[in-house]
Amino acid sequence: MTRTYLPGILAMAAIVVASNILVQFLYGDWLTWGAFTYPLAFLVTDIMNRVYGTAAARRVVLVGFVVGILCSLIGTQIMGDFGPLVTMRIAIGSGLAFLVAQMLDVGIFAALRSGAWWKAPLVSTLVGSTVDTIIFFSVAFSGALSFVHPGTDVSWAGEAVPLLGTGPMAPLWVSLAVADWAVKLSLALIALIPFRVITKRLRAS
The secondary structure element, H or E, covering residue 171 is strand 169-171
**Residues 6 or more apart whose Cβ sits within 8 Å of residue 14:** none
Q: What is the pLDDT confidence band of residue 83, given thresholds at 50, 70 and 90?
A: confident
- What are 16-54's pLDDT values in tens digits? 999 999 998 999 999 999 999 999 999 999 999 999 999
Strands 160-162 and 83-84 turn out to be unpaired
User: Domain locations in the chain?
Assistant: 3-204
- What are 138-158's pLDDT values in tens digits? 999 999 999 998 888 899 999
- What is the topology classification, in CATH, of domain 3-204? Arp2/3 complex 21 kDa subunit ARPC3 (1.10.1760)
Q: Which of 187, 69, 178 is nearest to 122 (CA)?
A: 187
Q: State if pTM tops 0.85.
A: yes
Q: Which amino acid is at 86?
A: V
Torsion of CA 19, 50, 190, 170, to 10 degrees: -60
* CA–CA distance, 148 with 22 (Å, rounded to integer): 25
